[in-house]
Each structure stands twice: as C-alpha cells, then as structure tokens.
Amino acid sequence: MMPKYKPLTGKNLQAATLSTAFINVFEGSVRSGKTIGTLFDWAKFCAVGPPGVCMMAGRTERTIINNLILPLQEMFGPNLVTINRGNGTVNILGREVILVGANNELARTKIQGATLVGGYLDEIATLPESFVDMFITRLSEPGAKMWATCNPEGPRHWFKLKWLDKAKLWLDHDGELHHRNPGDYDDDDDAKPLDLHRFSFILDDNEHLGTDYVARIKASFSGLFYQRMVRGMWALADGAVYDMFTEAKHVIAHDDMPHMSRILALGIDHGMTNATAGILLGLGVDGHLYAMDEWSPPPKGLSIGEQADSLRDWLADRTTPEWIYVDPAAKAFKVEIKKAQIGRSTDATNEVEDNINTIGALFSSGNLFISDRCTHLRDEIPGYVWDPKKTDKGEDAVIKLDDHYLDAFRYAIASTEKLWRRTIRSLIKVKTTARAQSANAAKEAAANASTAA
C-alpha cells in the first residue's frame, strides 16, 4: 500500500514550522486540519527524536486508534505504522509507542513512575486534569516534547486558563502571531508564559475541504456549537441549550408527517419518584428524523411491572420500534421489559455533551422535527438551559430539572446514530449542493443582466 496524504498548506504548514516548544497545542474547530498537522510532527519525532519512551493518550485506546493511528497508517502505510493490539502499543516509523486510555481520574495511576521523552494527548480538554498534570511531569528526558489537540470548550475551562492562556507563542484564529517573552515577567508571576506554543484553527483553514462540505458543516451548527465547532472559539455555554429550536420551524402536525421508512427506536427515561418518559423516533421517507409520539405513563402510583404493562399496551396501537433504548441506570425496569417480551431492549447511549451537540446540529440543519403529539417534550425544550454555576467553573452542564422527555429524546437519537447518519449526511449534501447551484445561477443571471444593460 502506497502512503497517501496531502501536503501541509497555509496555517498548518506555518504551525508545523513553529511547533518547537516543549508543549505544542493545536486547537480549534472540527475538520480544520489540526490533527493532521500534529501527526506529521509526531511521526517525525518518533523517527528521529531523542531515545526514550513515547506515549499517546486519549479518552480510550480505541479513540486513539481511530483518531490518530489509522490516519497515520493512511499517511505512511501500514508497514511503517503497525498496531500491536495485544500489548497496547503501536510502532511508528521504527519506534514503539505506548497507548493509554484516560477516561477518569484514576487514569493518572497508569503513568505514575513513567519516564517519557515524547507525548501526544488527543482531545486534551476532555481528559482529567489530574492525568494531564501527571503526564506533563513524566516528560523529563532531555529533549522531551509533547503535542496535543482539542476542540474548544468554555472560556473558563481549566486547560485554557492553566495552559493555553500562558502560551509564549500564539498563532491565533486570524493567522496573527503573538509573542510573549518570559524574561519580561517575575518568576513568581502567575501570568509568566510557559514553554508552550498554541495554534488556533477555524474550519476555513483547511484548504483541502470542498466548498460544499464546508457549507454543509456550517449549516449543521448554530449558536454555541457554531462558535466552537466552526469558528474555533472558547465560547460560553449560556442560556438555552437548543437556542436554534422554534415551534414554527421544528414542530409538525402528526397527521402531516411523511410515511416512516423505519421506526428506529423508543428512548425511555425511567423513574419511580420522577416521571417516566418515552419518545418514539422514526426516519421518514424524506430522510428526516421525527419524534413521532411520546409515552407518558402516570408519574406516580405504578409499580415497575405495571409500568411495563403500560408500555406494552401503548405499543400495541403503534408499530413496534426496532430498538427500545433505556436509561442505563434503570436495571430493574429493563428486566421487566424483557419479562414482558416487549421488543428488543438495551442500554441507551448516554454521552450527554456529545449527544446534545448532535441534536443541536440536526435542528440547525433542518433534519429533525417533533410531532405535535409530543407535548411534554415541547414543553421541556425552552427550559433546558446551561447551568451558570458550572459555567463559572469552566464546565458545560445543563440544569437537571424537568428534562425526562428530553433525556428519552436524546437516548433515541444518540443510540441510533449509526442507523440514520448516512441518510442524513447524504440529504444535507444534496441540499447544500442545490443551494450552491441556485446561488451560482442567481449570480450568473445577475451578471448577464448587467452585461445586457
């Protein structure tokens, strides 16, 4: 297999020549090319850097392989980048590199006592702060260097305040260079620059992306998510979570919904003292997703078995969904569902922040609608807001109040993403291309009219 990659250009090429610090962070929007830029640097360091142990870390070993190792194999070929799945290592251009997953605070114990010469942290802002601190202290060999990538979070996130804001060199979102001389600061000054180079990217920095794709990505985000995922800004999570949602645009009469090509799932948020809620999700023949209906058993007075009976009776008048996705914490209720032989049930996907982002993108791109039968769900959306107390701490979290139907909604959409993703992506591409063609035709017509005049 011949290696395949496109040469670095623009800001990525500039960043590659400037990534000479002890810590080099490439941060910014999705698909901006920041990861590819770091991988060229990292591969070169593995090949010709000082002797010693190198380590790559991310949320899990699987995400490291998907996000970093597979692209490295595409760049240099599988013969030069070899995954050793049995012992958690990868050989990159002749150097064995250790892979470490870091998805909780205990992850720091995996690297205590290690001595490293090279390090790479994938999506560093999502890793535990204690792990990152420990990782950096392990880079103690002469000539040690580290690379990291991340998408932006909130403006008071610990990684931004503690590390990024103290960079001695910053190539900003607009391509301007900022230098700060550590010699201008006292040693005890908390603002003294660190040996860290920061490179901030926006979506338009990736010169290899097609115009249709860029337009499609921009159309998929709005509000907070647009600021972070397109403009690469460390924006504040403030106000309504789904600020792009409007009743006029996103609510449709049940009788006006198209025929469903698939009844994908029923998402269920279960409670005994709180409400139990269910949202039925379908994929229309038009390629859009629809919250078709909601199951709302009495909030109190039913046993778990009676709740399962209520669900069976409710589904008797509807097409049984392909899957029933249940709150992972509701173990007893899942048992009752299986005893009652109500469809196929399993644990729901419950990555809250990622799932919220997905739903926001679907609303923004006009690919998600809610039936007027889902009255509880519609009532919850306006009050679903970011928690200002968490925001002050640099965290993104919603206020957990009256969100049972929203949780069920999120379970259904996130857990079936593999089933609808390709259809939605193809539809957005067609829409974007059509809009671009229409715009070009309008420009051409205007130009012709001007010439005729």
Look at residue 166 and tell me whether its pLDDT is greater than 90: yes
Look at residue 403 and tell me whether its pLDDT is greater than 60: yes
- Cα 316 versus chain centre, distance: 37
Do residue 284 and residue 403 come from a single domain? yes
Residue 272: count of CB within 10 angstroms of its CB: 15
Q: Domain with 212 in it: what CATH number?
A: 3.40.50.300
Please check whether residue 267 is in contact with residue 408, taking contact to mean a CB–CB distance below 8 angstroms: yes
Sort strands 289-295 and 89-92 into parallel, antiparallel or unpaired.
Answer: unpaired
Residue 236 CB partners (closer than 8 Å, separation 6+): 154, 155, 224, 391
How far CA 181 is from CA of 167, 318, 359, in Å, comes to 10, 68, 44
Task: Report the pLDDT value the prediction gives residue 252, as an integer from 0 to 100.
Answer: 96
Look at residue 443 and tell me whether its pLDDT is greater than 70: no
Do residue 116 and residue 259 come from a single domain? no
| 57: containing domain | 10-219
Q: Is 121 helix (H, G, I), strand (E, B) or coil?
A: strand
Please state, in angstroms and rounded to a whole number, the distance separating the CA atoms of residues 127 and 361.
24
Q: What is the DSSP letter of 200?
A: E
Q: Domain with 360 in it: what CATH number?
A: 3.30.420.280
140 falls within a domain: yes
114 falls within a domain: yes
Tell me the helices (H) and strands (E) count for the chain, helix number first. 16, 17
Residue 144: both structure tokens together? 């040690």
Task: Report the pLDDT value the prediction gives residue 442, as an integer from 0 to 100.
Answer: 36
- Residue owning tokens 């097609």: 210
Do residue 207 and residue 274 come from a single domain? no
443 falls within a domain: no
> What total number of domains does the chain contain?
2
Span 101-144, pLDDT tens digits: 999 999 999 999 999 999 999 999 999 999 999 999 999 999 99
Residue 298 CB partners (closer than 8 Å, separation 6+): 310
Do residue 327 and residue 271 come from a single domain? yes
Do residue 27 and residue 121 come from a single domain? yes
Do residue 21 and residue 110 come from a single domain? yes
119 falls within a domain: yes
Please state, in angstroms and rounded to a whole number, the distance separating the CA atoms of residues 339 and 322.
18
Mean pLDDT within 147-168? 94
436 falls within a domain: no
